[in-house]
Amino acid sequence: MSSVKLVDSHEAVELMESGAIVADIRDPGSFANGHIKGAVALSNDNLQDFLDATEFDQPIIVCCYHGISSQSAAAFLIERGYESVYSLNGGFESWSLGMPDKVESA
């Protein structure tokens, strides 16, 4: 089994520029107040749709509040066969401090 790879904000930007999807697992209100540009809000409500629409070789960066819960969510995706799954180290809190130009509101 593959372990979850942690990436910092700068590494995440490089992955995004290469086509990685950002899956934000925070609550809908937090997502609406601000999220990484282009991120997809991922919850139990749309998980199956996300899994159905995402190719196994599509890189995925999972984002949460502080980078803790995203590791479990990334491990879940790896267990389902996704090949390139990353957890955003420091989560959205770190991202919003280091990359404020790459934050948008819904």
63 given a catalytic annotation: no
Which of 13, 36, 63, 64 is catalytic? The answer is 64
Cα distance between residue 40 and residue 95, in whole Å: 15
Q: Is 68 exposed, middle or buried (0-12, 13-18, 19+ CB in 10 A)?
A: exposed
Which residues carry out catalysis? 64
